[in-house]
Amino acid sequence: MNILVLGSGGREHTFAWKLAQSERCDSLFVAPGNAGTSKIATNISLSVTDFDAIKNCVLENEIGMVVVGPENPLVDGIVDFFKQDSELNKVAIIGPSKRGALLEGSKERAKEFMALYDIPTAAYESFKEDSIEAGKEFLETLESPYVLKADGLAAGKGVLIIDDLEEAKQELENMLSGKFGDASATVVIEEFLDGIELSVFVLTDGNSYKILPTAKDYKRIGEGDTGLNTGGMGAISPVPFVDEAFMKKIEDRIVKPTVRGLKEEEIDYKGFVFIGLIKVNDDPYVIEYNVRMGDPETEVVLPRIKSDLGVLLEKTFQQQLASVEVEIDPRAATTVMAVSGGYPESYEKGKEISGLDTMEEDVIVFHAGTTLKEGKTVTSGGRVLAVTSFGDDYEKALKKSYRNVEKISFDRMYYRKDLGFDL
């Protein structure tokens, strides 16, 4: 069948790279894609939230499967759009329905879901403009630091962690009066959890599920986890401190009740669940749900899946996931993200990238923000390239990623040199 991947980042290049190896893939398309995807697939220029344009693309190219990379089209209801359209409802679209996507699209909904199915998470309450005083009183009952979350999608910027009580009250006011637009019309205030973060990825067909490799990403721009938040500066898989006993806790206390909740609420969910966790002492708590794969986590998770991803996703859509096995590469994988100088604040684009043809064997460069200009690969975004390597353990894999990222260059290129420092 012909397969379409929606999105343009490192995550989507990785999906395209993996699906290109599938026995189920005839022609591969990525929309809009980047310079990396253009080498292995046909790029189609469209916006991932323009459902009519996506429909035209699917019909014109006789697409049999659509893999949705980012959250916005899912939260906007792309899966429901396909289901309700007589020309599209046979297409295997991978992702949750709009109701399922609310687990990411609304922090309040996610917290209510977790409360309902006894899934461990930080204690919380949510507030609107008319309950601002109650919100301030709730803050007084908590200990510093204070965690304030915009309910809706805010491009990864909607979470504030504040040490000072008066400042937290002021930020609550700012958020409720539109700091993040409609996204912060409701604010979730929650207890601060102190621990180390990790992510677990689950593929579900709504009935059964497969747990994919764990990963840990590095979100801050600066070494030692300092400075502004980014989309992610690199990732490591598997997470070395997750042993069998801890994984069993995650599966029993979090994965199983999550899938049970989706089923009990008859939510159409055929796709990935990305569970952001924090390990406090020896127990896992959910920080957030995402209804898609992570970026750059995908750049280390998919390369460790040996099974045919096209088959896995087809079985997911057919609700036959229970009938297949997922084979995982026991080696570690790491990815180091090379970004534009200035990112995540303002940065320049259009810088020529050199060294891409000098990589060691078994190193994969996934493109994030790149484009082709007069036959040359140039930067076109903040996060530019993710350099993925394998090793017997994460330290060996990281060494290889670093050895190879050093061979790549573009004007003002930056990358973190301390990934794994906390492991």
d(CA 1, CA 401): 34
* Residue among 46, 159, 185, 328 that touches ligand AMP (CB under 6 A): 159
Q: Which does 287 bind (CB under 5 to 8 A by kind): ligand GLY, ligand AMP, none?
A: ligand AMP
Q: Which of ligand AMP, ligand GLY, none lies near 397, with the C-beta cut-off 5 to 8 A by kind?
A: none
CA angle, corner 238, sides to 232 and 239, nearest 5?
A: 75
Residues 6+ apart with CB under 8 A from 39: none
CA pair distance 377, 202, nearest whole angstrom: 34
Enumerate residues 266-295 that contact ligand GLY by CB under 6 A: 290, 294-295
- Site for ligand AMP (CB under 6 A): how many residues? 11
Which of residues 197 and 223 has its CB atom nearest to ligand AMP in the complex? Answer: 197
CA distance 265 to 388: 38
Strands 269-280, 283-290: parallel, antiparallel or unpaired by DSSP? antiparallel
Among 122, 233, 302, 387, interactor with ligand AMP by CB under 6 A: 122
Our CB check for ligand GLY shows the closer of 406 and 422 to be 422
Give the nearest distance from C-beta 199 to ligand GLY in angstroms: 8
Structure tokens at 153: 């999608």
Q: Which stretch binds ligand AMP (CB under 6 A): 28-36, 185-193, 263-271, 341-349?
A: 185-193
Instruction: Confirm if 321 and 37 have CB atoms less than 8 A apart.
Output: no
User: Residue 171, interface with ligand GLY (CB under 6 A)?
Assistant: no
Our measurement of the distance from residue 27's CA atom to the centroid of its chain's CA atoms, rounded to an integer in Å, reads 25
The residue among 123 and 311 lying less far from ligand AMP, judged by its C-beta, is 123
Does 277 bind ligand AMP (CB under 6 A)? Our answer is no
Q: Is 12 in the site for ligand GLY (CB under 6 A)?
A: no
* Nearest CB to ligand GLY, comparing residues 81 and 289: 289
Of the listed pieces 192-200, 325-333, 358-366, 388-396, which binds ligand AMP according to CB under 6 A? 192-200
Which residues neighbour 165 within 8 Å (Cβ) at sequence distance 6 or greater? 139, 140, 144, 146
Q: Is the alpha carbon torsion for 105, 108, 111, 113 positive or negative?
A: negative
How far from chain centre, in Å, is Cα 5?
15
Distance CA 220, CA 231 (A): 8
Q: Comparing C-alpha atoms, which of 75, 76, 78 is closest to residue 67? A: 78
**155, 183 Cβ separation under 8 angstroms:** no
**Candidate residues 71, 104, 125, 190; the one interacting with ligand AMP per rule CB under 6 A:** 190
Q: What x/- string results for residues 69 through 108 when contact with ligand AMP is judged by CB under 6 A?
A: ----------------------------------------
- Give the one entry of ligand GLY, ligand AMP, none that residue 290 binds, where binding means its C-beta sits below a cut-off of 5 to 8 angstroms depending on kind: ligand GLY
291 in contact with ligand AMP (CB under 6 A): no
Under the binding rule (CB under 6 A), the answer on residue 147 touching ligand AMP is yes
**What is the phi-psi region of residue 206: left when phi exceeds 0, alpha when psi lies from -120 to 50, beta otherwise?**
left
Partner whose binding site includes residue 117, from ligand GLY, ligand AMP, none (CB under 5 to 8 Å by kind): none
From the list ligand AMP, ligand GLY, none, which binds 152 (C-beta under 5 to 8 Å, kind-based)? Answer: none
Tell me how long the chain is.
Answer: 423
- Please report whether residue 205 would count as binding ligand AMP according to CB under 6 A: no
Single-letter residue type at 33 = G
Q: Tokens 């395209």 correspond to what residue?
A: 16
Q: Taking CB under 6 A as the rule, which mask of x and - marks residues 205-224 in contact with ligand GLY?
A: ------------x-------
Please, what is the minimum distance in Å from the beta carbon of residue 10 to ligand AMP? 19
Measured CA to CA, the distance from residue 203 to residue 269 in angstroms comes to 10
Residue 115 backbone phi and psi in degrees, to 5: -65, -45
Binding site for ligand AMP (CB under 6 A): 122, 147, 149, 159, 190, 192-193, 197, 276, 287-288
Binding site for ligand GLY (CB under 6 A): 217, 231-232, 290, 294-295, 297
